[in-house]
Structure 1
Amino acid sequence: MSLSGALANATAALTTSQYQVSLSTTNVANASTDGYTTKTYSATSQTATLALSTGELSRVTDTYMQKSLITSSASAGYAETIDSYMTRYDTLLGDTSSDGDIASLTSALSTTLTTLASGTGDTDAAAVVSAAAELADGLRTLSSGIQDLRSDADAAIATTVDEINALLVDIDSLNDQIVAGQGDQTSLADSRDTALQALSALVSVTSYTDASGRLNIYAGGQMLVGTTVSTLSFTPSGSVSADSTYPTNLSGVSVNGRDVTSSLTGGELGALIDLRDEALPAEQAALDSLAATLISAINTAASTGAAAPPGTLTSTTAVTAATPLSLTGSLGVVQSTTAGVATAIDEIDLSSVTTVGELMDALNSLDGVSASIVDGKLTISSSSGGVTLDSSLALTADGETLSDWMGFNDVFSGSDASTIRVTAALSADPSLLAASSLDTSAAVGQSAVASGGTGGATALMAALTEDRSFAASGNLSARSRSLVDYATDVLSGAATTVSTAASTASSATALRDGYANSLSNATGVNLDEQTALVSLYQQQYEVSAQLMSAIQAMYDALISMVS
C-alpha cells in the first residue's frame, strides 16, 4: 500500500473514531430521555482507495416489543380511565360503616316500619316519613352523581379528541420530514415512535410503515394518518341527565363526517365512551329498577291503608274531568269524624263510570261528600271531617285498585332514582301516612279508622320485606328478592364493578410497564456498554493518530532522501 493510501486509511479511521466517541457520548447523555434509542454507526470501506470514509447511522429497534407496547398501552389507557371514574363512583356509593349507603337507608326504613307495625315501640309516622325521605334523598344523590360522572366523561371525550388530533398532526409532520430525508432520521423516528405510543394510550390504533418510510395509522376502521391526516370531530353535550343517550341526544365521534363512535375501542377515548354510554348507564339502570319498584310497591301498599286521623284525600295522579276510567266492581266510601268514627257508609257501582268527571258526579251525589279537581288533582272531602275509601273491589282494566291508580295516600312521588321524593303533602304533614287501616266491618257510629292502628304500617313493611320479581337491569340478572335485599344487591353489584375495575387496571398497567421496560432494555442506552465503547473508540483514535504520525515521519524521511 502506498503512503497516500495508508494516510487516507488513517485519516478515515481517525475521523470515524472521533465520530463514534461523539455518538457514544450523546447516547450516554440521553440515557434517561424517554423514547430515546441507542444510536450506532457502521463504517463502510470505499474499495477504490480502501479507506474507511463512509458509514450509516442507525438506531436500535425491536419491532415485536414496540408493537406489544402499543397494544398494551391501549389496554392500560382504557383500564386506568375506567378505574379512575369507578374510584369516584365508589365514593358516591357511601360508607356502609356510617349507614349512608342505599342498602343501609332501605334497611333503616324497614326497621322503622317494623317498629311502627308492632305497635310496641315509640316510632311514629314522622320517623317513618323521615326515613323514607332520607332513602329518597340517597337515591337521588347517587343518581345525580352518576350523571355528573357521565357529564365529566362527555367533556373529557372532547379534551381527549383534541389531544389525539394534536398527536396525529405531529406524526404527519414527522412522516413528511422522514420521507423527504430531512434532518436526523433516527431522532425523527424516535419522536414518531414516542408520539405513536402516546396516541395508543388515548385510542386503540393499528399501524404499518410503507416502503417510503411513512407511518400509516388506522382507528375505528378509518385511516387517520397516510399521505394526509384525518382528524376526529366531537361536540360535547354540555349537560347529561339520566334520559341522555347516544345517539339520540349525545354526540358521537366522527372522522370525515362518518360516525365511528362504536368502533373506537381501547385507550382513554374508548373508556370514556364506554363510561358515558354503557358502564355508568348500567349502574343507573339498576338504581332506577330499585327506585321504581320501591315507589310502586310502597304506594300500592299505602293505598290499602288509611291515615289516622282521617281527613281529605288528594290524588297524586294528574287528571281532568275528561280523563277516561275503565272500572269494574264497586267503591266503598266511609265518612267519619276526625277521630275515625263512621258517620256514613256508602257504596258506588262503577259499572257505568267511564271518566273521572262521572266518578266525581257519583261521589258528589253522596250526602256530605264533596269531590272536585284542584290544581289537576282529584280531591275528596267530607263534611264529617274525614273520608276513607275501600277500593279493594274497584279495579281498573289492568287490575289496579282505583285508590292506587289515583295515588291516594302515596308515600313517594316520581318514577325513578332521579325523581323519587316523599310527596309534598306527606313531607308537610307526616300524620297523613296511611299507617292505620279501614275496618270494613264497622257500622255507622263505630270506629272505622282506629287511632294507633297498624294495618297500614304492616302493609308498608310487607312491601319492603316480601320477595318480588325483578327483571334483569344493568349488571344485575333477573331475580326474586325483597326490596331490602335488592338494595343490597344493587350496592354489592356496584362494589364488584369498582373492585373489578381496580384489579383490571392494576394488571393492564403492570403488563404495559413490563413491555416498556423490556423495550427500554432492548433499545435504550446501556451505560456500561457505552462507557466501554467510548474507551475503545478513544484507543482507536489514539492508534490512528500514532499511525498518522508514523506516516508523517515516513513522508519526512522520503522528502529528505529526495532532496
Structure 2
Amino acid sequence: MSLTNAGAIANQSLGTIAAQINVVSRNIAGVNVSGYATKTALVSTTSNGGVQIDGVARATNAALVQNSLQATATQASAAALSSGFDQIDQALGLSSGTASDTSTNRSPASLLAALKSALQSYSASPSSTTVAQNVLASAKAVAQALNTADSTVQQLRTQADGEIASSVANINSILSQFQQVNADVVAGTQAGRDVSSALDQRESLLKSLSSEIGVTTVTRANNDMVIYADGGATLFETTARSVTFQPTGAYTASTTGNAVYVDGVPVTGASASMAIQSGKLQGLTQLRDVVAPQYQSQLDETARGLIAAFAESDQSGFGTTAPGLFTYSGATSAPSASVVPGLAGQIIVNPNADPSQGGNLDRLRDGGISDPTNSAYLYNTTGAAGYTDRINQLVASFSTTQSFDPSSGLGSSMSLQDYATSSLGWFEAQRQQAKDTESYQSTLLSQTTDALSNATGVNLDEQMSKMLDLENSYQASAKLISAIDAMYKALFQAL
C-alpha cells in the first residue's frame, strides 16, 4: 500500500469517526428527551479500503409504536369519561357519607329516604306544625336536589361540547404541523439526507394526535405516512383533511349535540358511518351524548315518579289525578309513564302547601294541595287534627310499584324508592367502571411507553462505551497520519 493511499484511508477514517462521534453525542444529549429514538451511523467500506458514512439509521419498532398510540387514545377516552362522572359526583355529593346522611350525601335516593322518614314522624304527630315544617323542608330538599342535578348534567354537557371544539382545533393544528414535517421527511429521504430528527418529530406529533383521536398509520415509499382515524376516516394523505365541528352554546335536556366531521363525513353521533373508537374526542362525545343524557333521563323519571306518587285524586271519583305536593310550571295533570325531558329541572314543591308562598301547611295532612278551591281533592273532609290516612298513603307511595320508562335503562316497574336507589347504583357502577378503566389503561400506557423506550430509547451506558471506543479509534487514526507524515518527511530529506 502506498503512503498516499494510506494517508487517504486515514483521513477518511478521521472524518467517519468524527461523524460517528457526532451521532453518539446526539444520542447522549437526547437521553432524557421524550420521544427521542437512538440514532446509529451507517458505516461502509470504500473501494480503496477506507470507510465512509452512508447515512443515519433511527431505532424504531412499528408494532410498539402502534400499541403506544392505541394505549394513549384509549387512556384519553377513559380519562374524559371518568372526569365527567367525578364532576357530577362532587357537585351532588352522591358517593359522600351514607344513604341516610343527607348532610353530605345529596343524592335523590338519600333525600327521598329522609322525606319518607319525615312523613312517618308526621304520621305519629299529625297536629304538630314543627313536624309538618320538617316534611315541607325535606320535600324542598328533594326538589332542589333534582333541580341541581339537572343543572349539573347540562353544565357538564355544555362543558364537554366546548372541550370537543377545543379537541377539534387541536387535531387540525397537529395535522397541519404533521403535513409540514411529513413533507420534510419525504423530501429528505428522496435526497438521501438525514431525516432521523424529523422522524422523531413526526412520531411525537402522532402521539399528541392519538390523545385526541384514535389513529392507525400506513407508511409508504420514501417514508411517506398516511393517517386514518380508528373508525376508518382518512385524516392525512399527502395533505391534512379538514376536521369540523359546530359548537352548541347551551344545553337543555332535549338538546342533541352536533357531530364531528372529517372531510365532510360524520365520525361521531348516531349518523356516524365511520364512528371513532377512542381518544379524548370519543370520550367527550360519549359523555355528552350517551352517559349524561341517560342519567338525565333517570333524574327526569325520578321527578315524574315523585309527582305521580304525591298526586291527588278526585275523591268523588269523577275528576282526573292532579299534581299534589310536587308539581311543575303549567301542570294540570300528572305526567304519563314516559320520560319528560327536563322535568327534574322543573319540579317544585307546590306553593299551595308552603306558608312562605301563601299556602297552608295543613294541606300536607288534609289534601287539597292541587286545587284548594275544589273540595273534591280534599281528603280530610272533617278537618280532624288527628287525621293520618293521607299521610300514611303518602308514606306507602314510596314502596308502591309504578311504571317507569325503560329507555332510562333501569327497568319498567318498581317503586319510587327502588328506582331512585337503582339510579344511584347505576351511576356509581358506571363511575367505578370508568375509574377502573382509566386506571388500567394508564398502567397499560405506562408499560407500553416503557417497552417502546427500552426498544428505541437511548442506553446511556452503551453510548458512553461507544464514545470511548470512537475516541480510541480517533487517536489511532491520528497516530497513523502522524506516522505517515513522519515517513514523508524522512523521504523528502533523503531525496
Q: TM-score when scaled to structure 1? A: 0.76
Counterparts in 2 of 1:411 and 1:201: CA distance versus 1, 3 Å:
closer
Which of 161, 176, 188 matches 2:168? 161
Counterparts in 2 of 1:45 and 1:467: CA distance versus 1, 3 Å:
same
Q: 1:60 Cα shift? A: 0.8
8 A contact 2:36–2:457 mirrored in 1: yes
- Tell me what 1:349 maps to: none
The yes-or-no answer on 1:225 pairing with 2:140 is no
Aligned to 1:58, what secondary structure does the other structure show? strand
Structure 1 counterpart of 2:5, one-letter code? G
CA distance in 2 between counterparts of 1:480 and 1:232 reads 44
The yes-or-no answer on 1:132 pairing with 2:125 is no
Counterparts in 2 of 1:77 and 1:409: CA distance versus 1, 3 Å:
closer
The yes-or-no answer on 1:105 pairing with 2:116 is no
The yes-or-no answer on 1:84 pairing with 2:83 is yes
Which of 316, 322, 332 matches 1:391? 316
Q: 1:121 Cα shift? A: 8.1
Structure 2 matches for 1:2-81, cutoff 5 A?
2-47=2-47, 49-81=48-80
Which of 326, 349, 352 matches 1:422? 349
- Deviations 1:223-257 (Å, cap 9, x if unpaired)? 11112211211111010111111xxxx22111233
CA distance in 2 between counterparts of 1:523 and 1:284 reads 48
Structure 1 counterpart of 2:134, one-letter code? A
Aligned to 1:72, what secondary structure does the other structure show? helix
Structure 2 counterpart of 1:553, one-letter code? A
- Tell me what 2:335 maps to: none
The yes-or-no answer on 1:452 pairing with 2:382 is no
Structure 2 counterpart of 1:278, one-letter code? V
- Deviations 1:178-232 (Å, cap 9, x if unpaired)? 1111774000000000000110111011111111321101124321111221121
Question: How many corresponding residue pairs?
Answer: 452
Q: 1:448 Cα shift? A: 3.4
- Deviations 1:111-160 (Å, cap 9, x if unpaired)? 12122223478454333222111100001101110111111000000000
Aligned to 1:555, what secondary structure does the other structure show? helix
Aligned to 2:109, what secondary structure does the other structure show? helix
The yes-or-no answer on 1:470 pairing with 2:476 is no
8 A contact 2:37–2:458 mirrored in 1: yes
Aligned to 2:365, what secondary structure does the other structure show? coil
Structure 2 matches for 1:231-250, cutoff 5 A?
231-245=242-256, 250=257
Q: 1:408 Cα shift? A: 6.6
CA distance in 2 between counterparts of 1:240 and 1:16 reads 65
Structure 1 counterpart of 2:422, one-letter code? D
CA distance in 1 between counterparts of 2:438 and 2:408 reads 22
8 A contact 2:182–2:225 mirrored in 1: yes
Structure 2 matches for 1:351-366, cutoff 5 A?
none
Unaligned runs of 5+ in 2: 330-339, 369-379
8 A contact 1:35–1:190 mirrored in 2: yes
Q: Which runs of 4+ in 1 moved over 6 A?
A: none
CA distance in 2 between counterparts of 1:495 and 1:160 reads 27
The yes-or-no answer on 1:523 pairing with 2:456 is yes
Q: 1:492 Cα shift? A: 1.8
Aligned to 1:288, what secondary structure does the other structure show? helix
Which of 202, 211, 221 matches 1:211? 221
Which of 333, 355, 365 matches 1:435? 365
Counterparts in 2 of 1:132 and 1:180: CA distance versus 1, 3 Å:
same
Aligned to 1:448, what secondary structure does the other structure show? coil
CA distance in 2 between counterparts of 1:447 and 1:484 reads 30
- Tell me what 1:358 maps to: none
- Tell me what 2:300 maps to: 288
Structure 2 counterpart of 1:93, one-letter code? L
| Structure (1/2) with the larger strand percentage | 1
Q: 1:483 Cα shift? A: 1.5
CA distance in 2 between counterparts of 1:447 and 1:91 reads 46
- Tell me what 2:281 maps to: 269
Which of 313, 319, 327 matches 1:412? 327
Q: TM-score when scaled to structure 2? A: 0.87
Counterparts in 2 of 1:234 and 1:557: CA distance versus 1, 3 Å:
same
CA distance in 1 between counterparts of 2:158 and 2:305 reads 26
Aligned to 2:486, what secondary structure does the other structure show? helix
CA distance in 1 between counterparts of 2:416 and 2:228 reads 49
CA distance in 2 between counterparts of 1:473 and 1:462 reads 26
- Tell me what 1:173 maps to: 180
Counterparts in 2 of 1:486 and 1:409: CA distance versus 1, 3 Å:
closer
CA distance in 1 between counterparts of 2:324 and 2:449 reads 65
CA distance in 2 between counterparts of 1:412 and 1:489 reads 23
- Tell me what 2:97 maps to: 96
Aligned to 2:148, what secondary structure does the other structure show? helix
Aligned to 1:551, what secondary structure does the other structure show? helix
Structure 2 counterpart of 1:472, one-letter code? P
Counterparts in 2 of 1:482 and 1:210: CA distance versus 1, 3 Å:
same
Counterparts in 2 of 1:265 and 1:486: CA distance versus 1, 3 Å:
same
Counterparts in 2 of 1:78 and 1:178: CA distance versus 1, 3 Å:
same
- Tell me what 1:147 maps to: 154
Most deviating of 124-133 and 290-299? 124-133
- Tell me what 1:536 maps to: 469
Structure 2 counterpart of 1:453, one-letter code? Y
- Tell me what 1:324 maps to: none
Q: 1:473 Cα shift? A: 4.3
CA distance in 1 between counterparts of 2:475 and 2:365 reads 103
Aligned to 1:212, what secondary structure does the other structure show? helix
CA distance in 1 between counterparts of 2:64 and 2:454 reads 10
Counterparts in 2 of 1:23 and 1:287: CA distance versus 1, 3 Å:
same
8 A contact 1:178–1:213 mirrored in 2: yes
The yes-or-no answer on 1:461 pairing with 2:405 is no
Counterparts in 2 of 1:5 and 1:105: CA distance versus 1, 3 Å:
same
CA distance in 2 between counterparts of 1:409 and 1:391 reads 16
- Deviations 1:337-378 (Å, cap 9, x if unpaired)? xxxxxxxxxxxxxxxxxxxxxxxxxxxxxxxxxxxxxxxxxx
Counterparts in 2 of 1:410 and 1:121: CA distance versus 1, 3 Å:
closer
Structure 2 counterpart of 1:435, one-letter code? R
The yes-or-no answer on 1:558 pairing with 2:478 is no
Structure 2 matches for 1:328-367, cutoff 5 A?
none
Structure 2 counterpart of 1:141, one-letter code? T
Structure 1 counterpart of 2:393, one-letter code? A
Which of 202, 209, 215 matches 1:199? 209
